[in-house]
Amino acid sequence: MKLNKKELVKRLSNEMAMSKTQTEILLEEVFQCFSDILSEGNTISIPKFGKFEVTKSNARTGRNPQTGETIKIPEKNRVRFKPSQILKDNVQ
């Protein structure tokens, strides 16, 4: 099963006995908070779940597969997620 935002809101609202509107507002705030924290270069660590962190990929050269031309790929920030051992164990 693929869980989208709508299904997540529905599931959380049932679990928390909240309206779907309230749940969606709360979820949006959590997502915005995560985005703000990560954009500042900080790490989010949630016990029993995992850790979100920003890593920097180095600049490198690549090759255009259609033309074979060498291109420069600039460095950029990436968001990485490392699951906790508890989450890993629960998923298995």
Q: pLDDT digit string (tens) for 26-54? A: 999 999 999 999 999 999 999 999 999 99
pLDDT of residue 38: 96
pTM exceeds cut of 0.85: no
Distances (CA, A) of 80 to 50, 64, 86: 10, 26, 18
What are the φ/ψ torsions at residue 10 (nearest 5 degrees)?
-60, -45
Nearest to 43 by CA among 77, 1, 68: 77
pLDDT of residue 63: 94
pLDDT of residue 1: 79
What are the φ/ψ torsions at residue 22 (nearest 5 degrees)?
-60, -40
What are the φ/ψ torsions at residue 70 (nearest 5 degrees)?
-80, 135
pLDDT of 92 higher than 90: no
pLDDT of residue 34: 96
Sequence-separated (6 or more) residues with CB below 8 Å from residue 15: none
